Each structure stands twice: as structure tokens, then as C-alpha cells.
Structure 1
């Protein structure tokens, strides 16, 4: 049985919340522990958001409960009306995660048949202690940046290899099924790496930059583009001379692909190749025309592949 870090932090923070509530002599002190259990999330940012939303939720719940309890007394009917208004308002205000916790605290008013300021303060203190202990528990998060940088290196190595194999497939018989499987494996790896990057960004409370997440998003788009190129390669039947220019571009990209490459040199080479394509004589028969059309389509897809990276570089260096 594996016990995760979140479980350990919850097991420590919840009893502390209970002890603090008991030390302050709060009623229903166990609620503070339950709130802590429900508020410890996987990242600092999500825990902070949960804490703020739950305090806002309690404020809204208390106002609505005060309205209906004052009009209809501390009855089940009044509590039903409270839920009828509180739940849709919470959803609309995007604080739905606080519905259950706030409603449990509201039942304390119902059980005590009172909305005395001291009781309202009691509920706020329970909430503050609960979410506060969750926040403190999540101050420590392991630094996963080293792993993310390793993921970047793995992605770039895998992309280089796949580009080289795609280049080889232009001039010789290659198992397209193997290339497609490798492309799918690469896409799955990037997807998992992007999840780790998102978690890393979520643990940086004061940093609005999401570089690693955007980096892997860019690579996912490129791999999707590579998948489209592979579908064309499956159908392509071009001679070595016809495919030579793309072959050279693929090889050059495989050699120079890197995180800090802005793609401008490759784009210049693409423009030069475009110009040579325009100067070529028209195909003489239908088969040659179809091959030329597929080559040109492959060329356009490759240009999109490079422009995805160039656009990312521009956005990140502004």
C-alpha cells in the first residue's frame, strides 16, 4: 500500500485543525478538521483558490440562511428554501465546491435556532482554521522542475529520431506502422509531461508565467502535425530526386531541433525551396501530378510544423 504526500499532509493538518478549534473553545470543533480534509488539494494554487472560495461561499450561505430563517423560522422548510437559492447562485458564481461545507455549517444555525453574532463568528473561525491548516500543509511541495527539464530533453530526442526516420521514408521503403506507433507514443509522453508541467506551475503561487505548460502544448501541436505528415507519407510514391529537397529539410530540422531554436533559419530554407518548386516544370502525366501534389502538401504541413515553434518562440520572448 502506497501512502502519498497529500495523504500524509492531510493526516497531519486535520488533527492540528481540530486541536486549534478545541483550544479556542469553538462549538462543533470537528468541522474544522473535516474542512481541512476537504481543502488539501494537489497544488498550492488550487488550495488557495479553494480557501478563498469557501470563505466567500460561507458568506453567501450565511446571508441567504439569515433571510429565510428570519422569515420562516429555523425549520426544515426554511432550510429547503435556502438550498433552493444557495445552490444555483453558488454554481453561477463558480464557488460550487463550497456548497456542501457551507451547508453543513449552516445546519449549526438550524440546530441552535440562532443567528447570534457569536455563533456566526464560531462558523467563520471553523472555516478559517480548516482552510488555513490546509494552506499551511501545502506550503511544502517537492520541486519537480528537474524532472520537467528531463522531459523536455526526452521529447526533443524522440522528435529528432522521428524526423530522421520520416526523412528516410521519403527515399526508401519504411514500415509506416512503426512510425505511426512511435508518433502515438511520443504524443502520449508529451501529454503526461504537460500534466506534470501544469502541476508545477500550479505550485508557483505568484508566478503568472506558464512556460513549461505552453512548451509542451506547442510540442503536442507539432506532434499532431507530424501525425498528419505521416498520413501523407503512407500514400506518397516519389522518386529520390523529387523528394530530395524535403529530405534535406527534414534532416536539417532533426539536427537543429532544440528548445531555444527560433525556427527562422529553417523558415528561410523553406522559402527558398518554395521558390525552386515554383520554377520546376509541370508534371507530364497524372501519376507525376498526384505525386507532386502530395509532396507539395507534405511541404506545407512541414512549414506549419516549423511555424508552430516559431510562433511559440515569439510569444515567449516578448
Structure 2
């Protein structure tokens, strides 16, 4: 069991390094550099860079505004409140919210010292530079999570196959398994985690295009929603017909071909053939048979959409 995560380890080491550097170069309130590092350690490189930019920009804005306000109104609580009334709307307007808290804390140093001279302005800028700088350096290396994403892919595909096989059984036996709902819940949870991992992986690269995993997870999420619609049809099926058996065998071929590299071209052509065969069959003789046939036809439409989603995904990555 892991008691200390990678991010926690970086946070502890980074805070200590930032405080030591700040102290060694003679900055006051060196502990603030460590706090800034703690707040700036992020899960991805892009997040770290964005937050560093926001905090540096907001720090400069805060020091400029606070210096003007303190010189006009003095170094007191009322002046600090007025500073916040000016500073916060500006940072929100320019989307620098990540710097509000740390910049406000740095401004309190000026308030305590009752000075906005060049030494204290430089001191606060130095604390911010060291804090975000150490965090950025530590975040230059992120452990690869591609192996975890590949495991997610295998899991998701296997769960989708299981769900399709449960549907096949229902089509043949007219019996819905209670296991199906559990499979859907497990698939939904894993898809949620997998999408987060895929986006984190994307945000750990600046130059390389690693959007494939994000697109893959979005594609499987769309297919999951389609499977949910397909599941709803079984609440209306109440008899097994020749068409149900045919549909079951076709669904089985879809399940067996469900893997990352499949383009679904073959299955989509089979849908058209199957739809044509259904039209040639004898018309329903009873209302119940008509309603079931209509539900089967809608099930086929949704299964076709399931395949189209995969086909469009593969087309985007096959040049």
C-alpha cells in the first residue's frame, strides 16, 4: 500500500527547498516561499504552468495596487480592505483568480512592515518567483500513466462485451439478467476515472500530440450512452421471435469484434443487409408482434449508432 503519493512527496521536498533558497538569499518571511510551492504543485505540467503565470501576474498587480493604496491611506486594516476591493475584481476580470490568496498574503507583509520601498517589493516578488519556480521544476517530470490508460482500455472493452453478451442472452431467452445493471455501474465508474487519466496525460505534454487517448475515452463514453439506450428496449420486449434470434447472432458478432483496432466497416455493411432482410420478412400478424418488431428495429438502429461512433473515431486516426 502506498502511504505517500508522488505528489505528496514532491510537495514536501519542494516546500523545504523553496524555504531554504529564500532563507539563503536573505529574503524575509522565507516560509511563504514554501507555502507558495505547496499551493503550486499540480497534477499536470500544463496546470502548473498556468497557475505559475496567474500567480506571478497577480503578484505584480497586487504589489502595484497595494503600494499606491498604502501610501495614500496608510498601513492599516481599512487600507488593506480597500486594496482587496480593488484587487479582487481586477484579478477576476483578467482570469488571475489562482493568485488572489497568495498575493494577498504577500501584501500583508508590506502591511506588517509598514513599508512599500524597493526592498520589500523585491522581497515579495522573490518569494513568489522561488515558490512557483521550485514547483515548476519539480513538475517537469511526471511519471507516465499510459500503462494505466491501456489497462483502462482493456477493462472498458471487456465490460462492453459482457454487457452485449447479456443483451444477446436476453434476446434469445427473453430474460433480463440482474447482473446487467451491475455491469453498467462498473463501466460508468471506470470510464469516469479513465477520462480523467486521459486528460491528465494530455496536459502533461506541450509539444507532442497525445490526444488519442482522450478521443478514445470520449468515443467509448458515447458508446456507453448508446448501450444505455439499447438497454431500455428490453423493458418492452416480451416475446422471442425469429427476428430476435437473428438480432442476437448479429449482436454477438459485434461483441466479438469489439476491440481498439476494429473500424466497424464490416459490421456497418452487415447492418444494411440485415435491415434489408427484415423488410423482406412476413409482416407481423398481431399487435404484440408488431410492437416487438418495432422495438427490435430501434435496437438495430442504436446498435448501428454504436458502430458508427467507433467507425468515425477510427477514420480520424487513419490517414
TM-score by length of 2: 0.91
Partner residue, 1:266: 267
The offset of 1:208, in angstroms, is 4.9
1:230 aligns with 2:228: no
Partner residue, 2:172: 171
Partner residue, 1:50: 51
The offset of 1:317, in angstroms, is 4.0
The offset of 1:277, in angstroms, is 3.2
Partner residue, 2:315: 314
Partner residue, 1:131: 132
Separation in 2, partners of 1:275, 1:66: 78
Unpaired runs of 5+ residues, structure 2, are none
The offset of 1:159, in angstroms, is 1.6
The offset of 1:132, in angstroms, is 0.9
The offset of 1:303, in angstroms, is 1.5
Partner residue, 1:189: 190
Partner residue, 2:30: 29
Unpaired runs of 5+ residues, structure 1, are none
SS in 1 for 2:173: coil
The offset of 1:100, in angstroms, is 0.9
Separation in 1, partners of 2:95, 2:318: 34
CA contact (8 A) 2:166 2:177 kept: no
1:63-142 residue pairs with structure 2 within 5 A?
63-142=64-143
Compare 85-94 and 273-282 and name the one that shifted more. 273-282
The offset of 1:54, in angstroms, is 0.6
Compare 103-112 and 85-94 and name the one that shifted more. 85-94
Change (3 A) 1:275 1:121: same
Change (3 A) 1:184 1:175: same
Change (3 A) 1:175 1:238: closer
Report the aligned-residue RMSD. Answer: 2.1
1:202-233 CA-partner distances (Å, limit 9, x unpaired)? 32243453221221222122122112211212
Separation in 2, partners of 1:272, 1:208: 39
SS in 2 for 1:169: helix
Separation in 2, partners of 1:314, 1:170: 31
